[in-house]
Structure 1
């Protein structure tokens, strides 16, 4: 069977149902299941998406109706197809770690019937099944076992983020919280990359994932994965995460960690980026109100220099179009009308053609992004980093689309 490359973003939240019922309170109101699949298929050019919050009963009713009407199709290999894009049904669950810290886990299931079965079981352990990322009140080993019994995939979410993640807030060692044998992979999060994560030896055997954790339609695809699979479906995703029969993650496309909003430690009082101090006080204003950065947390946890195992996919820094200076909504629409999808603009479109439509500055920044030569102002404390603008003297030369 021929294997092919497929882009996949496996962590996208649902903000509301089509009828306006809240699902992810912090998600955009237009972030419905159907709008997500349309955005991925028509605008982003992403052929596999993990739609989290498919555990919600009113969302399941919408999915079932669209399946009955023929708008979506259930795939024999698992997943729900809309046009050329496959949706993998998922759920984000909050579990308690050591002390008061909590962590978020992602679970994926092959089809709507299995997701409904899981939802029926989980409804006994959470307070509100309609809403996203509910706290699980039960035995974690039982949760792991249920996901496995239903043929699902379990992945710790954004594992280093300061709030609600395995390493960021729950435990110092993932194996103190989760059974490593029950995990299909590890999601890194926006403020880290594989070079940082591979300083922690217990992560060596896992496949890494980079996903958007999108809470609005434009955020879809800000991080994604390139999979080598035979077709975009659940069972091929499972083989890729477990690196079976030649399937694997070919590459992780993620933000340069410096752009992540939790990369560096930041004082919330004076907003300065900090180096960790034993006193726990800001070196500039003396405040104790600070958010510990992912880079500093990994420094604290690391038990070796970076060591990439042979199976580790390359991590390719991805600069989403929303970060490109001087690329506004109208200009972006011109580019989409010409090139079709954001993936095409970011990776393949002719730079000369981009310059013709959007100007030399936009084309220059896209070229430097492709060449991994952009410079950044680091993010931290909940504020994203920024691209440093470059001058016209670094403009486009030739017609390179590489």
Structure 2
């Protein structure tokens, strides 16, 4: 969404997680990578990446954010949750059970058709009102790495890409049909073997199948392909993201934009 605002064209876009509870920490992140050409973590195995030691300072991070061309680090990509989960993503009026897509607002206006009060305008429409360009889903560029992880680029590939994930514990909870106890037991076992990001981003699905079973491997593949079911939030109602079970009024993400294959997650250029 930020890519639609011209004032942000030369700004670094960062991502960070909520810190109000343990499970939320690290859910979103900004990934910094070395600028040296001989290093490309996406051509290396997950074990090589995890065991790599890089010396850098706080100033190196500042330089990366400021896009210093002589810096040791730069922003590689950001890790996001699906923004539709936010409770003000679309516009609407929950008291009257009215939910509008951005196009609905343009077509029908900002007045609730039931109570005739002003709708609570969602983030997508707020961005559209401030944007200097409209980037539709079909214009986005999707690039998959060798692990099948989909990275989303702007149409001209001028900005750092992002990936969208579903937290591992939420994945396991859905697989275990809402059983928090079973999901937590499996989660603790898995993260003692590999990190959550390693499982969600990098490990081959065949290895995930061995570690956590066929259902988990299928779920990870669906997330990496951005084929989850989404019911966007509105007017204080949180949105929902499901992998296997389609929620009521959901919209399955079908990012059928330009899709490319490359052996790396991003290009170190």
Shorter-chain TM-score bucket reads 0.5 to 0.7
List 4+ stretches of structure 1 deviating above 6 A: 307-310
**1:276 positional shift:** 2.6
Question: Match of 2:180?
Answer: none
1:51 is matched with which residue?
none
> Quick one: higher RCO (CA 8 Å, sep 6+), 1 or 2?
2
CA distance in 2, matches of 1:375, 1:205: 33
Q: TM-score, normalised by structure 1?
A: 0.43
**Offset, 1:239:** 0.6
Shift of 1:252: 1.3
Query: Does the alignment pair 1:236 with 2:66?
Result: no
Q: Distance in 1 between matches of 2:236 and 2:67?
A: 35
- 2:92 aligned residue: 266
Post-superposition CA distance 1:299-330 (Å, at most 9, x none): 11112234767651012222222442226212
Unpaired runs of 5+ residues, structure 2, are 35-53, 136-153, 177-182, 246-264
TM-score by length of 2: 0.63
Larger C-alpha radius of gyration, 1 or 2? Answer: 1
Inter-partner Cα distance in structure 1 for 2:215 and 2:97: 30
Inter-partner Cα distance in structure 2 for 1:358 and 1:380: 34
Q: Which residue of 1 aligns with 2:130?
A: 301
Query: 1:293/1:353 Cα in 2 relative to 1: closer, same or farther (>3 Å)?
Result: same
| RMSD (CA atoms) | 2.8
285-294 or 327-336, which deviates more: 285-294
Higher helix share: 2
Total equivalences in the alignment: 195
Indicate yes or no: 2:185 matched with 1:333.
no
Report whether the alignment pairs 1:281 with 2:117: no
Q: Give, in whole Å, the separation in 1 of the partners of 2:110 and 2:187.
A: 44
Give yes or no for the alignment of 1:252 onto 2:78.
Answer: yes
Selected match of 2:23 from 201, 218, 225: 218
Task: Check conservation: 1:269, 1:287, Cα contact below 8 A.
Answer: no
Task: Please state whether the residue corresponding to 1:365 is helix, strand or coil.
Answer: helix
CA gap of 1:389–1:292, structure 2 versus 1, over 3 A, is same
- Tell whether 2:233 aligns with 1:379: yes
Equivalent-residue separation in structure 1 for 2:15 and 2:99 (angstroms): 25
Per the TM alignment, residue 199 of structure 1 is displaced from its structure 2 partner at its CA by 1.3
